[in-house]
Amino acid sequence: MLKRRRFKQTKTLHERLAEEAAQLREEARTLAPGRRRETLLRRARQDETAMQIDAWLHSPGLRTPS
């Protein structure tokens, strides 16, 4: 049986997503318009959406259904 490699994250999910989105946007900025550039921008938008969803899920206003 394969053993999972585990490690402790040193940065929060929000920090990792923000860094990746910024890096993807920077890389897309250097490319000419085309498929690769659009793919990078789409991934950056997905990271930003994930950050918003994570913030919403961890907001104090969110309550469990009763």
Residue 38: CA count within 13 A, CB half-sphere: 3
More confident residue, 59 or 44: 44
Q: What is the DSSP string of 40-52?
A: HHHHHHHHHHHHH
> pLDDT tier at 1 (50, 70, 90 boundaries)?
confident
What is the Cα–Cα distance from 49 to 17, expressed in whole angstroms?
Answer: 10
- 50: pLDDT strictly greater than 70: yes
What is the Cα–Cα distance from 16 to 4, expressed in whole angstroms?
Answer: 21
- If phi > 0 it is left, if psi is from -120 to 50 it is alpha, else beta; for residue 34 that is left
